[in-house]
Structure 1
Amino acid sequence: MGDKPYTKIPIAECGEPLAPLPSVFVRLAPHPYQSLGAPYGSVSPFYLRLGVIAALERAQALLEPYGWQLAIFDAYRPIAVQQFMVTHTFTILCRERGYDPQQLEPAIASEIWQQVYQFWAVPSSDPKEPPPHSTGAAVDLTLADPAGHPLDMGGAIDEISERSFPDFYDRHPEQMNAACFAQRRQILYQAMIHAGFQRHPKEWWHFSLGDQLWAWQTQQKTGQRDIIARYGRVDL
């Protein structure tokens, strides 16, 4: 049900360590998943692989002409947190539809799980199929003004709706402020792409570099089938 095509990409782990995000980046606080009680333990969500941090710094430099900066929503995510958030999202969607998550008909449960996994990665414990955030190579972020206040991007991070699709406002120019939102998403995309990242096909805020999703998308764009992932799951 939650199978993703990128999970078949081979991983040749490079052994690069995780490191804390430098203070040059805005951190959105309080951290949303920690606030919900997600089981991070002593692990910080604001860690990434060293190479990914270096690429983020390049992306931020590309935003200087606009006077904007990157604001980090979420980065490293242990498997236990991925499982917590997937379950939490399922519960929220059930309640929004007026269902008791514990008393669902199989067909309805299957439909809601499909909606969950349209955006969320499967919290697989298989080291060959790690969720992107558990590799330290994926980051959820947005744009912020010089004072560190997030810009309105036309949809909230983690919102489960069509507004989360990167090109939503390009396809729906009749929406209020569509041109503004489309431009901001495009500016974020260009900065991140030029720094080496790939963007999640269905999430304007999710970017990765060096993980399976990045490798799969790079293969799709370049036709080079020998590109593989260099970052696998990291357990702290």
Structure 2
Amino acid sequence: MTDPTLSPIPAPTDPDWTAIGALPIADAGGGLMPLGLATPTLRTLPIYHALGVPGAVPECWAREAVYRRLLTVARRLPAGLGLVVLDAWRPYAVQRYLYDTLMGLIEIRYADHDEAERRHLARAFVSPPSVNAERPSPHLTGGAVDVALCDADGVLLEMGSAFDEACAASHTVHFEHAADSEAARTCRARRRILYHAMIEAGFVNLPSEWWHYSYGDQMWAWYRDTPQALFGPSAPDSLEARFQRSLGLPQVR
């Protein structure tokens, strides 16, 4: 087996969000699964709940196809490494909060930029909130996940930038071109391990975020040159929905 630390991460193709949003969605169905019940090889840290983000949930939820691929990644990692899921399905309220917060800070930092430029800067790190069934925010589908590496004790490893850090170092290939230092080599090796393991399991990466991978959503379909996405908007099952089904009533999410 080829050492993943020796294989460079390929130069990325920036996403064409207009083309991505135009792809049809033939939702393959299937509810969301709680990832916290996974084996010790796959760990979860619901990061937004831990950070106190309003509306964040204390569990990581994803589609079954995503869940099983994450398990595959976790089991194939080199000895001593583990996979940590920081976020997966995300409520609309959280997406709205993240986007509005980042846009507010960008408007302060880049006051000399026009609105289109500021939105472009924000889009690299947070998708505009959308519950539109034809163009949902990726994390609303249960197909997008944010992941990191940890050691055998569950300690998160340094990856060269913090999760959700809106800076150049967060771009997946940053350390393919960074100055050659011991710290840079370590981060480059870890990002390569994570990238190649996720790609081999069928995911695609958002080039501006080393932590963001997708399976089944519109971005995944665009990068894989697939004619349609597999997953539209979703949400964890609720007690109300179960009562509605049992009574034969129309279900409203």
Q: With structure 1 as the length reference, what TM-score do the two structures score?
A: 0.84
What's the counterpart of residue 166 of structure 1? Answer: 172
Q: 1:132/1:199 Cα in 2 relative to 1: closer, same or farther (>3 Å)?
A: same
Superposition deviation, residue 132 in structure 1: 0.8
Among candidates 67, 75, 86, match of residue 99 of structure 2: 86
Q: With structure 2 as the length reference, what TM-score do the two structures score?
A: 0.78
What's the counterpart of residue 77 of structure 1? Answer: 90
Deviations 1:54-111 (A, max 9, x none): 0000011110x3320111111110222111110112233445x3x8xxxx68x45554
**d(CA) in 2 for partners of 1:122 and 1:206?**
15
Q: Is the 8 A contact 1:173 1:179 kept in 2?
A: no
Q: Is the 8 A contact 2:178 2:184 kept in 1?
A: yes
**2:76 counterpart letter in structure 1:** L
**d(CA) in 2 for partners of 1:178 and 1:38?**
35
Q: Is the 8 A contact 1:169 1:175 kept in 2?
A: no
Superposition deviation, residue 6 in structure 1: 1.3
Deviations 1:125-176 (A, max 9, x none): 3210011100001100100000000110001111111111111011123466
Q: Write out aligned runs for 1:1-236 (5 A).
A: 3-21=17-35, 22-24=37-39, 25-28=42-45, 31-33=47-49, 35-40=51-56, 43-63=57-77, 65-94=78-107, 97=109, 107=113, 109-174=115-180, 177-219=183-225, 226-236=226-236
**d(CA) in 2 for partners of 1:227 and 1:191?**
24
Q: Is the 8 A contact 2:85 2:148 kept in 1?
A: yes
**d(CA) in 2 for partners of 1:135 and 1:159?**
23
Deviations 1:5-61 (A, max 9, x none): 3111110001111010024322226x3356333224xx5550000111000000111
Gaps of 5+ in 1: 220-225
Q: 1:175/1:132 Cα in 2 relative to 1: closer, same or farther (>3 Å)?
A: farther
Q: How many residue pairs end up in the alignment?
A: 218
**d(CA) in 2 for partners of 1:131 and 1:45?**
19
**d(CA) in 2 for partners of 1:108 and 1:38?**
29
**1:19 counterpart letter in structure 2:** M
**d(CA) in 1 for partners of 2:126 and 2:155?**
26
Gaps of 5+ in 2: 1-15, 237-253
Aligned-residue Cα RMSD (Å) equals 2.2
What secondary structure is seen at the aligned counterpart in 1 of 2:124?
A: helix
Q: 1:170/1:9 Cα in 2 relative to 1: closer, same or farther (>3 Å)?
A: same
